[in-house]
Structure 1
Amino acid sequence: MILCPMPRTVLVVDDDPHIRQLLVFALQKAGLDTIEAADGEAGLELAGVHGPNLVILDINMPRMDGLEVCRRLRAAGAPGGGDVPILFLSSRDDEIDRVLGIELGADDYVVKPFSPREVVARVMAILRRTSARPPAIEDGRDLEHGRLRLDLDGWRALWGDAEVTLTVTEFSILRLLASMPAKVFSRDAIIDRLHGPGFAITDRTIDSHIRNLRHKFAAIGCADLIDTRPGIGYRLGTCTGG
């Protein structure tokens, strides 16, 4: 197993002590620091205190479920939340739950029962995207297209002078599209660029992230952020505000 090259803290929130123990052991073996909580309220409090680099959230929990914890973490100004990457765990293999989790701002989703190695692989993939430097071809410069500007070093998306808060996955997708604005990317190509070939994630998950991006930019006047090419995929829109 490849060890994490620098300290990273993962918050594991699950009411099942066996699952917490299993995940904590696997994550620590991969070189990650961990903290854990047995319910949603405790998890939300720990996120505010410790500011973890990633949160693993069970959906079905007492006192406060994972969906509500995600909502509060994603709320503007939430301590320890904001754009922290979130990975959902759930025993419900239901596409509605999966899509809802993504639409609330989760970066990935794993269904129980799962392999600890799979969870660690997904965590590491998300953390790599969080800490990765832009490709050398971009030469550290911002990406600009129309009124859209991506601050690659600061992981910030701006529409004119207004900053748009994005999750790690949302920013990564937008950066990919903006790096080659004339290119149409299939859903599989987007998954491969973000996670690597063969990574198990559904097309609907990418659609949900695209929908989130459109919604966030539409709220500040951008109705042409991303174009859909039916049967093919997505490419960056004109980004002029039309």
Structure 2
Amino acid sequence: MKNILIVDDHLQITEVLKEYALKEGWNPFIASDGETALELFSKQPIEVVLLDVMLPKLDGFGVCKMIREISNVPIIMVTAKGEDYHRIMGLDIGADDYIVKPFSPNEVMARIRAILRRIERTEENQHTIVRLTYDNLIVYLEEKRVTIDEQEICLTKRELELLWLLLSNREKVFSRDNLLDSLWGIDYFGDARTVDTHIKRLRAKLDEVNHTNWEIATVWGQGYKFEGRK
């Protein structure tokens, strides 16, 4: 049974989501503030976190940052309608996805199902190829590590998956829709700006160490690819 952590200070919302999660066969843990969320996370093996931004004691951004210090568990941020800066900030600090209030409980469940399917696919792939190398770049899938010239680059789970996908298909151009389907799942209800934000953040982290023989390239009007120059 999958453990899902639902963090929201509105009792009606958490009760509805809890009921839907139970129908999916998941085990929901509920927190109404940021401190309780972190306490539950430290005590339970959580597979997915559904995290509201506006919380008592410690807001969702603070919770997300602290979880990212110790775990790459998928995090879906919940933001208010029209608060684009919340969405962007959430993605910048390591959230994997976002959903906007008001939302349909069925949509939330679809997002979680998509994430769980992606985790299962990644775990299956770990039994085949577990490391990819190009020039001074090494990606260790099983260990969830990335190094450039033996210097470790700290990536979120989603960023690592994005790099792995591009690197394992060198020179292949992925459209934003291709990347959304591959990494976020066909049930994803967001937009292509999510991909652009993750690419921007991934590039910034990779650029911390010099790499003249390769890059994550933009193919204008088409999408993105891993481009080698060796």
Cα pair distance change 1:225/1:109, threshold 3 Å: same
Identity %: 36
Cα pair distance change 1:227/1:90, threshold 3 Å: same
Aligned partners of 2:6 and 2:50 also within 8 Å: yes
Out of 210, 217, 221, which is 1:227 matched to? Answer: 217
- Measure how far apart 1:95 and its partner are: 2.1
**Alignment deviations for residues 126-167 of structure 1 (CA, whole Å, 9 cap, x no partner):** 12222324777x942522222222223344333243333322
Runs of 5+ consecutive residues of structure 2 not aligned to the other structure:
none
Aligned partners of 1:90 and 1:110 also within 8 Å: yes
Cα pair distance change 1:198/1:47, threshold 3 Å: closer
- Measure how far apart 1:174 and its partner are: 1.2
Distance between the aligned counterparts of 1:38 and 1:133, measured in 2?
Answer: 31
Amino acid at match of 1:235: K
Tell me what 1:169 maps to.
Answer: 158
Tell me what 1:189 maps to.
Answer: 178
Tell me what 2:13 maps to.
Answer: 19
Q: Please, what TM-score do these two structures have when normalized by structure 2? A: 0.88
SS at match of 1:182: coil
After alignment, is 175-184 or 143-152 more displaced? 143-152
Cα pair distance change 1:134/1:148, threshold 3 Å: farther
Out of 106, 110, 134, which is 1:145 matched to? Answer: 134
Counterparts in 2 of 1:48-87, with a 5 A limit?
48-75=42-69, 78=70, 82-87=71-76
Aligned partners of 2:114 and 2:187 also within 8 Å: no
**Alignment deviations for residues 18-75 of structure 1 (CA, whole Å, 9 cap, x no partner):** 1111111111211211211111111122212224122110011122111121122223
Aligned partners of 2:77 and 2:97 also within 8 Å: yes
Count of aligned positions? 228
- Please tell me the root mean square deviation across aligned C-alpha atoms, in Å: 2.4
